[in-house]
Structure 1
Amino acid sequence: MNLYEEILNKREKISLIGLGYVGMPLAVAFAKKVDVIGFDLNKQKIEQYKKGIDPTNEVGHYAIQNTKVEFTSDVNKLREAKFHIVAVPTPINADKTPDLNPVVNASSIIGRNLSKGSIVVFESTVYPGVTEDVCIPILEKESGLKCGLDFKVGYSPERINPGDKVHRLENIKKIVSGIDEESLDVIAKVYELVIEVGVHRAGSIKVAEAAKVVENSQRDINIAFMNELAMVFDRMGIDTYEVIEAMNTKWNALRFYPGLVGGHCIGVDPYYFLYEAEKLGYHSQIILSGRKINDGLGAFVADAIIKKLILANKIVTQAKVVILGLTFKENCSDIRNSKVEDIINRLKEFCIDPIVVDPLADKMDVKHEYGIDLVPLNAINDADCLVFAVAHDEFKQITMEQIDGFFRDCPNEEKVIIDVKSILNKSAIEEKSISYWRL
């Protein structure tokens, strides 16, 4: 009987290492079919899960309260599992180089608790070669076992889209790979337990690693193109959104829109690819250029705010600016690598300390990560400028009457609205003679 059958018959367990936006939904899904150990070093997070609280809002409190996942921060519990899935974050350092510490630490922990016959699958985004050249040696050193003989390794890039209620874990095809055909077959069958649309068996681990960084780099480049167009059209006095809507009437339009590009995937993964390419002597032109454009968009938006304030006869250093949204994307509580921070930092150069509102972000996380005290939406008043930075559904439902209530008592011509994601009714705002700008 192979490991897949042992897991299916609940003679062996699956462990999920890293219970964030990727690992936790995966653990909950597997727990509907097999025995699962959910491990995370963050004891506070584990306590929340044990209390039935979903801090990520990915599956909801009800799912957490009714799951059979055994949540733990005890590394010794990993010894009870033989199929390990690593879903820890892989951020970048300040100099834009890969920070492999989370995946290295996870490999060490697993290695110290690894038993013969086990399979370890990495989901964390890495550049091609990390699984075999970095992770396997650590697993072998810590366990004293030999990869390919005593245990097997695979790679299956995470494709969960945080905050997306349409493209979910079960209906996104999963790329799987293994160190050999035997491990690939087991890994594929295990994932097919929860992936309803099936899996794609990659030819090698490196192919699977590359596929992940390339799919996000491709999206990054396309958004960078739209962001560059937005910057040029702004100088031309042309509405970018109207141009895109006209362009999208053609069947083969790609339907990308300009916007801030942050988060743990698109804003990070290209740097992993660039890092390895540089090591091999290739200096990227397109990918690096796209990253520079997207990394500079926050400052561009902030400069647009300053210009609009000046044109509205505001004293910039005394202006009250309110930013609506801090998470890296709409309808998601994830604040990692949020490019709204770039807008805030640029405004601070002009002595503006903006007020920030985000009903989805965790107040304590925001305070710890950015040093910002979030303010509730109903506390906003006397604003000179409203910046709609993130397209949360809650912000889309704000009425013109509410918007009027957010501003200080002054002529409409002195009120400024910045609509980064084009979620407001441009005509309705301009009819009231409010100064309006959108990306």
Structure 2
Amino acid sequence: MARQITQDRIAVLGLGYVGLPLALGLARSGYATLGFDTDAAHVAALQRGHDRNGEVSEASLAATTARFSCDATDLAACTAYIIGVPTPITDAKTPDLEPLRGACRMIAPHLAPGDLVIVESTVYPGVTEEICGPVLAEASGLELYTQIKLGYSPERVNPGDAEHSMENVVKIISAQDDETLDRVEAIYAPVVKAGVHRASSIRTAEAAKVIENTQRDLNIALVNEFSLIFSRLGLDTLEVLEAAGTKWNFLPFKPGLVGGHCIGVDPYYLTYRAEQAGYHPEVILAGRRINDNMGRHVAQQLIKALISRRIDPGQARVLVLGFTFKENCADIRNTRVADIVSELAEYSVSTEVFDPWADAVTVRKEYGVNPVSAPEKGVYDAIIVAVAHREFREMGAATIRSFGRTGAVLYDIKGVFPKSDADLRL
């Protein structure tokens, strides 16, 4: 039997990989839904039926009853506000909560007694109640917990993964008290077919989210360290992992670049909070150091390979295939492919990037890299397959090698092709 929806009129703040699918899901479930974003160009594109991130189809946008706006006055008609804005880190690897604070300041003047605010952004334990709550109360003039109700339900979006969509993954929910938690559940239950998990407190839910990605980060760091060791021992890491994987309880992680807005960022939120509490987290930070340095390692391995073939790195042309943080996805946030390009530049290597998924204008704006519209044939001294986009898999190793000169180095970071087709693999 379908779940009864609440009478809430819901605003979703932040229409990126998290907020946009949620807004459409809420609208499909019968809610009066407002999707809000401060990026006027993005909102205009959504109103025309186009998602620049490629996560939502034009058919879905055409069919939705959700409204999209960048006008803050439209927020006044809502009674529940779900915040899904980014929570990045600073250059010093500390939490940057300004986007979250800004979203709270944005909705505060429009809050009325009894309104509900739910945070979906990834944070460290305590942020919703210790930072968001006071900002909302001060800017609205309302009393926290009695007039403003608080909830937290961390997003579990995996960009580019249609199988594990929002509807198909259990949703953690939490709130300030049982009555508010019932209201939060009533909002999400009709949307999330996989069901909800009621956490005992907001801080528990915040902690659960941040350790999900920290655990994955550490597992990848371990196999990345295996790769660093095996490269010195003359062993192929993927072959070693394949052999070890014949044991029933060996976990199937592979080495690689760890970027994106989640895995490469969230552990720093936990370590920041841990150090505030007087504990220095050694294992988590060690894993972060390993993963943050893998791009540099790839570049240095390539330089060695060029020199071994008597190719002057300062005269070499290198093609990098892929710039997004993961395959079959347009998301370039915190992509570690940028580290490879930057490190090669330190050796005066001329590097060209080709990515059929990434928006060239955004890449240029965010990273100062000018992607090429298509690779040239027979001109490169080395080719790095940095992201396992399906387009590159379909090309095959022979076509990719045709971009290079005779004797060009092919570095297959992701193990897209068999060992015999590549000169270097992680």
**TM-score, length of structure 2 as denominator length:** 0.97
1:360 corresponds to which of 333, 353, 357: 357
- Match of residue 91 from structure 1: 88
CA contact (8 A) 2:325 2:336 kept: yes
- Match of residue 433 from structure 1: none
Matched, 1:304 2:301: yes
- Match of residue 408 from structure 2: 415
SS of alignment partner, residue 146 of structure 1: coil
Matched, 1:138 2:155: no
- Stretch moving more, 67-76 or 372-381: 372-381
Within 5 A, what are the aligned runs for 1:4-15? 8=5, 11-15=7-11
Matched, 1:201 2:198: yes
CA distance in 1, matches of 2:163, 2:387: 19
CA distance in 1, matches of 2:57, 2:378: 32
CA contact (8 A) 2:315 2:350 kept: no
1:264 corresponds to which of 245, 261, 266: 261
Matched AA of 1:73: C
Matched AA of 1:417: L
CA distance in 1, matches of 2:8, 2:185: 17
- Match of residue 383 from structure 1: 380
- Stretch moving more, 377-386 or 48-57: 377-386
CA distance in 1, matches of 2:226, 2:215: 17
* 1:100-150 Cα distance to aligned partner (Å, 9 max, x none): 000000011111111112110000111100100000001111111112211
CA distance in 1, matches of 2:341, 2:253: 25
- Runs of 4+ residues deviating >2 angstroms: 376-381
- Match of residue 118 from structure 1: 115
CA contact (8 A) 2:397 2:417 kept: no
* 1:135-194 Cα distance to aligned partner (Å, 9 max, x none): 000111111111221121000111010011211111110000000000111101211111
Q: State, as a whole percentage, how many aligned pairs show the same letter.
A: 47
CA distance in 2, matches of 1:165, 1:377: 27
Gap regions ≥5 residues in structure 2: none
Matched AA of 2:148: F
- Match of residue 347 from structure 2: 350
Matched, 1:327 2:320: no
- Match of residue 32 from structure 1: 28
Within 5 A, what are the aligned runs for 1:39-188? 39-188=36-185
CA contact (8 A) 1:344 1:353 kept: no
CA distance in 1, matches of 2:59, 2:253: 35
SS of alignment partner, residue 400 of structure 2: helix
CA distance in 2, matches of 1:129, 1:372: 38
CA distance in 1, matches of 2:369, 2:309: 27
* 1:385-410 Cα distance to aligned partner (Å, 9 max, x none): 110001111111113442242113x3
CA distance in 1, matches of 2:225, 2:402: 34
- Stretch moving more, 51-60 or 330-339: 51-60
CA distance in 1, matches of 2:72, 2:378: 49
| Structure 1 residue 225 displacement after superposition | 0.3
CA contact (8 A) 1:53 1:65 kept: no
Matched AA of 2:198: R
- Match of residue 21 from structure 1: 17
Distance 1:103 1:258, change over 3 A: same
1:399 corresponds to which of 389, 396, 404: 396
Matched, 1:438 2:425: yes
SS of alignment partner, residue 16 of structure 1: strand
CA distance in 2, matches of 1:22, 1:231: 34
Matched AA of 2:12: L
Distance 1:104 1:380, change over 3 A: farther
Matched AA of 2:409: V
- Match of residue 417 from structure 2: 424
SS of alignment partner, residue 350 of structure 2: coil
| Structure 1 residue 426 displacement after superposition | 2.2
| Structure 1 residue 381 displacement after superposition | 4.2
Matched, 1:248 2:241: no
C-alpha RMSD over aligned residues: 1.3
Gap regions ≥5 residues in structure 1: 431-435
Matched AA of 2:9: K
SS of alignment partner, residue 319 of structure 2: strand
Give the count of matched residue pairs. 423
CA distance in 2, matches of 1:340, 1:401: 23
| Structure 1 residue 299 displacement after superposition | 0.4
**TM-score, length of structure 1 as denominator length:** 0.94
SS of alignment partner, residue 80 of structure 2: strand
